[in-house]
Every structure is written in C-alpha cells, then in structure tokens.
C-alpha cells in the first residue's frame, strides 16, 4: 500500500528509472500476490522469495540475496518503507555498498525496544540519507536523535494515498455478501505481532476480551498465518460469533474495515486507516509509534489484558472518538516524495553525463 502510489508517481517522471524488488518476506498469496493485483502494482523486477524464519535468519537472507541485485543495478539510491525486516536489511546492504538510503515513514517511535520493528526503525533512520516522515512526531523524534533538519522532510502518508485512491472500488466489493454479513453491526479483528501471538498468557487475555465483546456484536477476523499456526498449536476454542477468515486482499479488507463498527488491531497501518475512515479503533498494545492516530484520530490504546481491553471497549461505546484528519493525509504524499527526491538529486538529474536510477526495496503489509 505504500509502494503502489510511489510506483505510479515515479512512472510519470522520465528522469527516474525505478527497479522494484519484492523480498518475499510476506509470501502468503492473499497477503502479497492479491495485494499486487488489487493495487495495480507491476510485477517486481526481482523476487527474492525469502519467506519466513526467525528475525535474524530472515534479515540475513534478505541481505544475502539483495546484495547481488544492488551490485548489478548500481542504483544511486535505495528506497525503503516502514519498519519490517526487509527495510533494515536493504538499508544496511545499500549503505555498506556506498548507496544512498531513503527511508519513507521515518521517525516513528514506540519507545519500546522489545519490539523488533522498533529496532528496525531506529537502525534504518540512523544510516538513512533522506528521511521522509508521515507525522510531526517523526520529525521531533529524529531531531532529538541528532538527525540534521536538512535530511528530514514531512511528506504525509502513502498508506492514505492508497486508501483514498481505492476506497470507492473497495466499497463495491461483495465481500460482505460472501461472508453472509447483512445489515447488522459487526467488528473487525487483526492480530499478528509476535508479542501478542507468541505469548500464551497475552494471547489468552486478548481472546478472553474478544469473547466478551462478541456477545454484543459479531467479530470477523482475517487470521494472519503466524496467528493461525499459534491457534492451531494451542487448540484454542473460538466462539461461533468470532468468525475466523482466511487472509483477505486489500480491497476486500478495506471494504470490511470501512463498514465495521469497531476495529481491534495491533497493526500500525490499520491505526492510520481507521483514523482516515473515522472508524473507532482499539489498539491491542500498550504503546503506539503513531501517536497522531490518538491525538487527532479515532484510536485508543487498549492494552492487552482482558480488563483494559474491555474498559476501552466500554469507553468507546459510551463516548466514541470523532477524530479528524491529520495534516498532509490528503492523498498527495507520493507527489511530495517525488518532489523531495528530485530536489535532493537535482544536480544529478540535470547532468548530461548521468542517467538517474532509483532502486526500490519493498515488502508488503
């Protein structure tokens, strides 16, 4: 969802050559292949087929496989987005090869070093040459960490570019009729972070709270492969009003999200999407690296215990947050990214002795 607007915008610029690298970190068909089709992304120029494994193994494999790609392409810059293992792996390899690193969605901080994503964010930002931020907290965090203000640019949110572009199409999806959802109110659940899924006590507490919520409204839960494996291993009993689904494509999921009464999630991107859509969001975590979704949006931190989740649920019922639109979440983030990159490499672009090339390192949601 972050790469598609960039690829579309860069395709309109004759001075830029883009090379799309799909690491394969997200390899489930519905979580990767279907997203490429829904978002109109071109086939990647390189597919590394990394797949799963521990954080160390996956990061190392991405580094091993992307190095010959960068050696072959010799790009002037590698663009990485977000905070996944592909982000930090591609950034490290590029920097060691003397290639500029551009980090989009830079500066976000949960201030929780137990989160693998937090380590990825901090490391990537510390070596990036250009840092493009989605919200003011990102700029403040980077300045506090000693990053020069000249390297930081507030561009808005690429996730929102995709949402705005595809929402009308998503709302025409027949996913509700396929799932037998009528006019009744329903909630949507996503859960994938290792801290929630792989901690038996934490997962049990979240499920206990969701069982209680499901007595008031049905819940639909597209289950992440990691979560599905855990539920099967533990032989977890799920009440019938919590409907477990296979992973959904982008348009089907966006349709459910837009039509839901509430979303329970541990996903950063969904915190942003629900803020844009005006849908109440209960984030199943004790922290968030996207504070603008709480300050300006519809998001509440619910924690992970049954007591705190149900308290947040009661507060949402009693006093739902209306929320508002954060600055620059206007669907033009990709255009601003392009403008920043063109400005940074203006001398190179204008030189008759060089052809500007940009390499895109990417993994999906």
Distance of alpha carbon 318 from alpha carbon 315, whole angstroms: 5
Q: pLDDT digits over 134-146, tens only?
A: 999 999 999 999 9
Q: Is residue 218 part of a domain?
A: yes
- Return the minimum-mean-pLDDT range out of 193-202, 208-217, 284-293, 328-337: 193-202
Domain of residue 341, CATH code? 3.40.50.2000
**Are the beta carbons of 203 and 197 closer than 8 angstroms?**
yes
Mean predicted lDDT score pLDDT of the chain:
92
| Amino acid 310: pLDDT | 98
Q: Is residue 324 part of a domain?
A: no
344 pLDDT more than 50: yes
Q: pLDDT digits over 118-167, tens only?
A: 999 999 999 999 999 999 999 999 999 999 999 999 999 999 999 999 99
Q: pLDDT digits over 211-236, tens only?
A: 999 999 999 999 988 888 888 887 78
Residues 346 and 314 both lie in one domain: no
Residues 208 and 104 both lie in one domain: no
Q: Is residue 273 part of a domain?
A: yes
359 pLDDT more than 60: no
Residues 272 and 338 both lie in one domain: no
Q: Is residue 62 part of a domain?
A: yes
Residues 143 and 274 both lie in one domain: no
Residues 266 and 214 both lie in one domain: yes
Task: Grade residue 82 by pLDDT with cuts at 50, 70 and 90.
Answer: very high
Distance of alpha carbon 314 from alpha carbon 252, whole angstroms: 28
Distance of alpha carbon 283 from alpha carbon 14, whole angstroms: 42
| Amino acid 264: pLDDT | 98
| Amino acid 364: pLDDT | 37
Residues 50 and 130 both lie in one domain: yes
Task: Grade residue 356 by pLDDT with cuts at 50, 70 and 90.
Answer: very low
Strand ranges (E), the chain? 17-22, 46-47, 77-81, 100-104, 130-133, 152-154, 187-189, 219-222, 242-245, 262-265, 281-283, 299-301, 357-362
Q: Is residue 170 part of a domain?
A: yes
HEC profile of 31-54: HCHHHHHHHCCCCCCEECCCCCCC
Distance of alpha carbon 65 from alpha carbon 86, whole angstroms: 11
| Amino acid 26: pLDDT | 64
| Amino acid 31: pLDDT | 59
| Amino acid 143: pLDDT | 98
Biggest CA–CA distance in the chain, Å, is: 68
| Amino acid 28: pLDDT | 59
Split into its structural domains, the chain has a count of: 2
Q: What predicted TM-score, i.e. pTM, was given to this entire model?
A: 0.92
Q: Catalytic annotation on 192?
A: yes
| Amino acid 110: pLDDT | 97
Task: Grade residue 204 by pLDDT with cuts at 50, 70 and 90.
Answer: very high
Residues 183 and 229 both lie in one domain: yes
Residues 149 and 60 both lie in one domain: yes
Residues 286 and 343 both lie in one domain: no
The distance of Cα 88 from the centroid of its chain, to the nearest Å, equals 15
Token pair, residue 212, equals: 């209680």
Mean pLDDT of all residues in 248-256: 96
Q: Is residue 148 part of a domain?
A: yes
Residues 266 and 240 both lie in one domain: yes
Residues 84 and 178 both lie in one domain: no
| Amino acid 198: pLDDT | 85
Report the percent of the chain where pLDDT is more than 70: 94
CA distances from 248 to 38, 43, 67 (A): 11, 20, 32
Q: Give the range of the structural domain holding residue 311, as residue numbers without chain letter.
A: 165-318
88 pLDDT more than 50: yes
Q: Kindly name the residue from 29, 55, 192, 362 that is annotated as catalytic.
A: 192
Q: Is residue 26 part of a domain?
A: yes
Token pair, residue 148, equals: 């020069």
Contacts of 347 (CB under 8 A, 6+ apart): none
Residues 145 and 170 both lie in one domain: no
| Amino acid 363: pLDDT | 39
- Return the minimum-mean-pLDDT range out of 43-47, 51-55, 208-212: 51-55
């Amino acid at each position: 969802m972050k790469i598609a607007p960039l690829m579309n915008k860069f395709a309109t610029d004759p001075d830029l050559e883009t090379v799309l690298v799909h690491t394969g970190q997200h390899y489930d068909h519905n979580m990767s292949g279907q997203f490429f089709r829904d978002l109109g992304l071109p086939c990647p120029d390189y597919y590394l087929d990394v797949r799963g494994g521990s954080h160390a193994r996956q990061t190392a494999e991405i580094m091993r496989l992307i190095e010959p790609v960068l050696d072959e392409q010799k790009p002037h810059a590698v663009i990485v987005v977000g905070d996944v293992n592909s982000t930090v792996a591609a950034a490290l390899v590029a920097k060691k090869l003397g290639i500029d690193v551009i980090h989009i969605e830079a500066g976000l901080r949960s201030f929780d070093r137990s989160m693998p994503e937090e380590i990825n964010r901090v490391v990537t930002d510390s070596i990036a040459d250009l840092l493009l931020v989605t919200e003011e907290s990102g700029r403040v965090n980077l300045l506090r960490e000693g990053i020069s203000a000249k390297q930081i640019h507030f561009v808005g949110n690429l996730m929102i570019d995709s949402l705005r572009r595809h929402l009308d199409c998503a709302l025409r999806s027949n996913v509700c009729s396929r799932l037998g959802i009528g006019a009744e109110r329903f909630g949507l659940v996503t859960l994938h972070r290792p801290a929630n899924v792989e901690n038996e006590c934490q997962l049990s507490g979240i499920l206990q709270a969701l069982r209680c919520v499901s007595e008031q409204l049905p819940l639909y839960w597209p289950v992440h492969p990691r979560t599905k494996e855990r539920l099967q291993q533990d032989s977890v009993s799920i009440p019938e009003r919590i409907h477990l689904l296979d992973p959904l494509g982008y348009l089907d999921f966006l349709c459910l999200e837009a039509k839901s009464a509430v979303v329970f999630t541990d996903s950063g991107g969904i915190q942003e999407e629900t803020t844009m859509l005006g849908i109440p969001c209960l984030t199943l975590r004790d922290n968030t690296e996207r504070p603008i979704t709480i300050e300006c949006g519809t998001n509440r931190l619910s924690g992970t215990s049954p007591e705190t989740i149900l308290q947040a649920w009661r507060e949402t019922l009693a006093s739902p947050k209306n929320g508002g639109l954060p600055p620059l979440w206007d669907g033009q983030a990709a255009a601003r990214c392009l403008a920043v990159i063109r400005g940074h490499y203006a001398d190179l672009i204008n030189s008759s002795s060089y052809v500007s090339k940009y390499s895109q390192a990417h993994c999906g949601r």
